[in-house]
Structure 1
Amino acid sequence: MDTLSKDEPTAPSNTPFPSLQDCPAAQRALDYYLKPSVSDEQEHRFFDVNRNINGEEALVHACDLLRCAAATAHESANRLQGSNRDLAFSVVHMIDLAKVMLDRSLDGYPTR
């Protein structure tokens, strides 16, 4: 049973920042960083990568995904005009740059 009523003043605390004492945002921040998590469950993902896949296979699959993304963006860009077309082709260019970087990293693996 709580003996303090809401009208009674609380005793002053020894905090160096008295303005933060009754601040809900400060309390939430402290709770977030200092309180342990309620459960140790792992985050469930809708899609997950097979844990048995090796690095080379993952890079090859990523290259295939980027190739498909570039083809989709290129086809979409062909149906657009003006600045929307330019924007779509810039996406194609960025995808191509990412694919080149992945291809370069695959060069480090021996050929089969």
Structure 2
Amino acid sequence: MSKITPDPPVSPLHRHDKNSDRVFAHYNLPPVEPPEPYKLPESLFQIRADARSEESLTTAYELLESAAATAYESVENLSGANRKVVLGVVHLIELAKALVDSALDKRGVDHP
């Protein structure tokens, strides 16, 4: 199978040949290595291993309430398309809150 686009050219900074190695050796410089890509940490927050599901759901609900309050406050200062976008975010937050609420209600019934 043939590709529609060709491979990108190799960067000359990352190509090693005898001449560049000789220049580096003359000036006593280490060879040029490609920089390592920056890696984001896996997570900025960690959940305790002993956290119960109900505690996690309750905390998630409280975070969603805070997000909704922030979004409602932002809506008051916006107009036009930006206002509609933030109202869409509010709607998504309300849906997530309803799901968490439902899970909490079921947890309360399952585990008295």
TM-score (norm. length: structure 1): 0.58
> Is 1:57 matched up with 2:58?
no
Query: What is the CA distance between 1:44 and its match in structure 2?
Result: 5.3
Supply the distance in 2 between the matched residues of 1:59 and 1:97 (Cα, whole angstroms): 14
Specify which of 63, 67, 70 is matched with residue 68 of structure 2: 70
Query: What is the CA distance between 1:100 and its match in structure 2?
Result: 0.3
> Is 1:103 matched up with 2:101?
yes
| Structure 2 unaligned blocks of 5 or more | 8-40
The aligned amino acid for 2:78 is L
Q: Hey, what does 2:89 align to over in structure 1?
A: 91
| Structure 1 unaligned blocks of 5 or more | 1-18, 25-42
SS in 2 for 1:110: helix
Alpha-carbon distance change, 107 to 85 in structure 1, aligned in 2, over 3 angstroms: same
Q: Hey, what does 1:39 align to over in structure 2?
A: none
Supply the distance in 2 between the matched residues of 1:59 and 1:85 (Cα, whole angstroms): 29
The aligned amino acid for 1:62 is A
Give aligned-pair identity as a percent: 40
The aligned amino acid for 1:68 is S
TM-score (norm. length: structure 2): 0.58
